[in-house]
Amino acid sequence: MEEIELPEGFELRRDERGLSLVVDGVKLRGDFSRMLPRLRPDRLHQELLVRAARVRGIEAPVAVDATAGLGEDGLLLAAAGFTVVLCEHDAVIAALLEDALARALDDPRLVEVARRMTLVADDSAKVLARMDVAPDVVYLDPMFPERRRKAATNKKLQLFQQLERPCKDEEGLLRAALEARPRKVVVKRPLKGPYLAGVKPSSSLEGKVVRYDVIVPAR
């Protein structure tokens, strides 16, 4: 594994279950197998993200998950038939995601979905700018400051948030997504949170704690 600079007290550790980030006894590991119940057809198409991202009339849609994290949302999109480009700029999180994808490719239950997922360990704005063909969907789930307070008791989420800081340039992130000329941009937001960069969406789908704002650019 390529040398990765880690914050003080952080350790990347590999065992029979895969690569984990360990801090003070807390382990963070990408694990797509725990998503299997949500990938069943009867549940998958009820997922708000899948409903928000759906593109009618496109046989093999392409999505860019511009804030991939540990890839669980990207997995939902891939299971729904999208070819998914996963962008993750943080080297530690990207290493965890790469390991999770490798294990999924060795899992008969996940291999067909995992084959539709490609990780690019780079800043999503750069990835979007150099795409030769416009994606059908760009998905954004930027870290939101309020989540840090509400999730204070979740140690694994706290650990993740020490690496993935809240988005400082919402305007730049949304601009990069729109300049890629997708059919739609889907933005995950806290249920009562403000619109990303103050841009009112074309429509929204609301769940119990989050909503998905859909921005349809003029074509």
- Does residue 6 fall inside a structural domain? no
Q: pLDDT tens, 18-43?
A: 999 988 878 889 999 999 999 999 99
CATH code: domain of residue 99: 3.40.50.150
How far is it, in rounded angstroms, from Cα 177 to Cα 175? 5
- Does residue 35 fall inside a structural domain? yes
153 vs 104, 148, 157, 158, 159, CA distance in Å? 29, 10, 9, 8, 11
The residue-averaged pLDDT of 162-182 equals 86
- In this predicted structure, the answer to whether residue 136 has a pLDDT above a threshold of 70 is yes
How far is it, in rounded angstroms, from Cα 111 to Cα 40? 15
- Does residue 210 fall inside a structural domain? yes
How far is it, in rounded angstroms, from Cα 6 to Cα 115? 29
pTM over 0.85: yes
Q: Six-digit token pair at 190?
A: 């806290």
- How many domains does the structure of the chain reveal? 1
Give the CA radius of gyration of the chain: 17
How far is it, in rounded angstroms, from Cα 76 to Cα 50? 7
- Does residue 100 fall inside a structural domain? yes
- Does residue 5 fall inside a structural domain? no
Q: pLDDT tens, 101-124?
A: 999 999 999 999 999 999 999 999
pLDDT-derived band at 165, boundaries 50, 70, 90: low
How far is it, in rounded angstroms, from Cα 135 to Cα 19? 31
pLDDT-derived band at 163, boundaries 50, 70, 90: confident
Q: Six-digit token pair at 207?
A: 């769940």
Task: Specify the amino acid at residue 17.
Answer: R
Find out whether 144 and 168 touch, Cβ atoms under 8 Å.
Answer: no
The residue-averaged pLDDT of 75-87 equals 98
pLDDT-derived band at 8, boundaries 50, 70, 90: confident
φ, ψ at 114 (rounded to 5°): -60, -30
Domain limits at 78? 11-215
- Residue scoring higher pLDDT (86 or 153): 86
- Does residue 173 fall inside a structural domain? yes
How far is it, in rounded angstroms, from Cα 85 to Cα 24? 33
How far is it, in rounded angstroms, from Cα 143 to Cα 127? 19
| SS3 assignment, position 173 | helix
- Does residue 132 fall inside a structural domain? yes
- Residue scoring higher pLDDT (219 or 134): 134
Alpha-carbon 140 to chain mean position: 7
96 vs 14, 29, 106, 160, 200, CA distance in Å? 10, 6, 16, 11, 34
φ, ψ at 151 (rounded to 5°): -105, 25
- Does residue 69 fall inside a structural domain? yes
Find out whether 74 and 101 touch, Cβ atoms under 8 Å.
Answer: no
pLDDT at 189: 95
Using the structure block, give the residue that is written with the tokens 């059919």: 183
Of 15, 27, 143, nearest to 89 by C-alpha is 143
pLDDT at 156: 66
pLDDT at 38: 97
- In this predicted structure, the answer to whether residue 2 has a pLDDT above a threshold of 80 is no
